[in-house]
Amino acid sequence: MIDKNCPFCKILKGELPSSRIYEDENTLAFLDIWPQSDGHTLVILKKHYEYIYDVPDEEVADLYKVVKKVARAVKKSINAGGVSITQHNESAAG
């Protein structure tokens, strides 16, 4: 399912530009256009969900396997001393 108003869905459909760094059948990783740090990367599911609590457990597990893979690659590519992984839900969470 794709939400026509979701910016991430627009990136998936190619309606908004992105610098894609990883893609598979279910996920997409791309560089943030307003990075908070070097290597700031977003990893999203290709299926639209409003909140993390809506995502089936199996899909969360698969998503975080990709997050781990991308984190390793970004860390290595920019020689970072570490990584920070966050997930925000609802406006109060940022």
Locate the domains of the chain by residue range: 7-93
Position 55 scores a pLDDT of 97
Helix (H) or strand (E) holding 29: strand 27-31
CA 53 – CA 45 distance, rounded (Å): 14
CB atoms near residue 47 (< 10 Å): 14
Q: Which fold is adopted by the domain 7-93?
A: HIT family, subunit A (3.30.428)
pLDDT tens digits, residue range 40-66? 999 999 999 999 999 999 999 999 999
Report the predicted TM-score, pTM, of the whole model to 2 decimal places.
0.90
**CA distances, 39 to each of 1, 31, 61, 74 (Å):** 29, 7, 23, 6
The runs of H, that is alpha helices, within 1-94 are 7-12, 57-78
